[in-house]
Amino acid sequence: MGFFKQLLRNKLALMGGIVVVILFAVSFLAPIISPYNPDTINVKEILMPPSRQHPFGTDELGRDVLSRMIWGSRISLKVGFVAVGIAVIIGVIIGAAAGYYGGWIDDLLMRFVDMMLCFPSFFLILAVIAILEPSIYNIMAVIGLTGWMGVARLVRAEFLRIREMDYVKAARSIGASDLRIVFRHILPNALNPVIVAATLGVAGAILTESALSFLGIGVQPPTPSWGNMLTAGKNNMEIAWWLSVFPGLAILVTVLGYNLLGEGLRDILDPRLKER
């Protein structure tokens, strides 16, 4: 209960949490709340401006923009959580091994992390996606496989700190195995910064997917995605402003919501910030 009370007192985190909850609700209720089929083409209603019948207007094929944005929120959630899940799993494994064992294992793994950080992540993703067939599954995998380095460094730092604490030394002295010490005593106490990094990482993954789809190598039409909707808006900017404005606002509000929630969680979960 103390955690939720602190979350409610943090106004920015509360705002971010509300945005995230609304996004979840819209995504799961898409078949119910979507006013039209997002793929239905109506040549009689091409590029209609916002109206009572179509609150967000229609696109170049007469499809309802609001319906496509509602279904597009599912793509954002799926990409964000799967990609971050992959990144967290890899980052925790590498960071835990480096921080717990130290020595040459730490040196080897951290040099690998440094090498990965030398590559511009977005251009690396562009190169891999250009080689592979553009699909939502490839996008999720590539974003996850190129976004674990920050988590690894956070976990390593926490393991280096916690492994020297008395209760860990006591567990080691009574013959506890390395796996038991790691999973029972260290990892649960090292997850707070990982939770924060994962929350912020979802926003980054959503933004990356939108950028890839905007460039035409992400989620492919007719599957609705906020990024490929922006591409259609770019092609009709002068005569259909709503095709760019509404998907752009959706990306902005979603990323801002996750960032605010992540910052709030960092304030709540990091005890070192409370001491300042």
Convert the pLDDT of each residue in 111-157 to its tens digit: 999 988 887 777 878 787 778 777 788 888 888 988 899 999 999 99
pLDDT in tens, 13-25: 888 889 999 999 9
The residue among 274, 85, 82, 100 whose CA lies nearest residue 187 is 100
Mean pLDDT of all residues belonging to the chain: 86
Q: How confident is the model at residue 227 (pLDDT cuts 50, 70, 90)?
A: confident
Q: How far is CA 84 from CA 123, 124, 125, 135, 199, in A?
A: 18, 17, 15, 17, 9
Token pair in block for residue 160: 């280096």
Mean pLDDT of 28-32: 92
Shortest CA distance to 78 belongs to which of 143, 140, 141? Answer: 140
Tokens linked to 129:
């996606």
pLDDT band, residue 276 (cuts 50/70/90)? very low
pTM above 0.95, yes or no: no
Which 3 state secondary structure label does DSSP give 32? helix
Is 57:242 a contact under the CB 8 Å cutoff?
Answer: yes
Q: Is the pLDDT of residue 93 over 90?
A: yes
Question: Comparing 161 with 269, which gets the higher pLDDT?
Answer: 161
Structural domains in the chain, sorted by start: 75-271 (1.10.3720.10)
Top pLDDT among 260 and 4 is at 260
Question: Which pLDDT score, from 0 to 100, does residue 275 have?
Answer: 46
Residue 126: exposed, middle, or buried by beta-carbon count in 10 A (0-12, 13-18, 19+)? middle
* Predicted pLDDT of residue 270: 66
Share of the chain above pLDDT 90, in %: 30
